[in-house]
Chains A and B, each alone.
Chain A
Amino acid sequence: DVKVTQSSRYLVKRTGEKVFLECVQDMDHENMFWYRQDPGLGLRLIYFSYDVKMKEKGDIPEGYSVSREKKERFSLILESASTNQTSMYLCASSPGGQGEKLFFGSGTQLSVL
């Protein structure tokens, strides 16, 4: 079974801190994604990557950056955390090609105080 592992289940940070969210997949997938999930808004795409060192902005990239130095690992970085970034963050991976399903991690609930 494909496994997508997110490093933390719950995280509490202070405003202005630099925050790293880590995601690792074990199936050699080309594509990796970071979404945030908020009640009533569903999932919104922050960034995605289709290859090592490649990244594309999603619908809400402001305040975030990403890093993909190895194929299996995709990191989301909050350069200076703010309270409006309190959310559930979901990482996903998939093989290349349209129509392929995404495999999701269990999520990281981030609270910024």
Chain B
Amino acid sequence: GDSVTQMEGPVTLSEEAFLTINCTYTATGYPSLFWYVQYPGEGLQLLLKATKADDKGSNKGFEATYRKETTSFHLEKGSVQVSDSAVYFCALSERGYNKLIFGAGTRLAVHP
């Protein structure tokens, strides 16, 4: 079945460092791809999404490009802030009822 694999954490960075969190997927057909973020004590919220190959999703300085040839959707940010500390989830949406399949999550800790 469909699945999402993302890099294990935690990822620890200094403020203003460059961030990459890797995500690859396995799917039949053409899923939509998402990054969700979970701040401490909160539910998940959508960070960005891409619905077809070569689309780039972006929000709050984060970017990810839907790469069909490598089945990847890596999350990047050029300069992280302490406020970016959170757990990041990569996900795909199967056809039909918008059911999401999530990766295991990657915890990011940014230090001043």
Residues of A within 8 A of B (CB): 4, 31, 33, 35, 40-45, 48, 50, 56, 58, 90, 92, 94, 96-102, 104-107
Given A4-B43, A42-B89, residue A102 in contact with residue B100 (CB < 8 A): yes
A109 → chain B closest CB, angstroms: 10
CB-based nearest B residue for A104:
B43
Question: What are 8 A-to-B residue pairs whose CB atoms are below 8 Å?
Answer: A43-B44, A43-B105, A48-B97, A50-B97, A97-B98, A98-B93, A99-B32, A101-B49
- A101 and B97: CB pair below 8 A? no
- A31 and B46: CB pair below 8 A? no
Instruction: List residues of chain A with CB within 8 A of the CB of B61.
Output: none
Instruction: List residues of chain A with CB within 8 A of the CB of B104.
Output: 40-42
| Complex alpha-carbon distance, A92 and B34, angstroms | 15
Instruction: List residues of chain B with CB within 8 A of the CB of A41.
Output: 104
| Complex alpha-carbon distance, A14 and B46, angstroms | 34
Count residues on chain B whose CB falls below 8 Å from chain A CBs: 26
- B34 and A43: CB pair below 8 A? no
- A101 and B46: CB pair below 8 A? yes
- A107 and B89: CB pair below 8 A? no
- A42 and B93: CB pair below 8 A? no
Instruction: List residues of chain A with CB within 8 A of the CB of B100.
Output: 33, 43, 45, 102
Option from B41, B45, B95, B99 in Cβ contact (under 8 Å) with A45:
B99
CB-based nearest B residue for A9:
B41
| Complex alpha-carbon distance, A50 and B10, angstroms | 35
| Complex alpha-carbon distance, A40 and B41, angstroms | 17
CB-based nearest B residue for A97:
B98
- B97 and A107: CB pair below 8 A? no
Interface residue B69 (Cβ < 8 Å from any Cβ of A): no
Segment 25-49 of B: residues with Cβ below 8 Å from A? 32, 34, 36, 41-46, 49
Instruction: List residues of chain A with CB within 8 A of the CB of B94.
Output: 98
| Complex alpha-carbon distance, A96 and B99, angstroms | 10
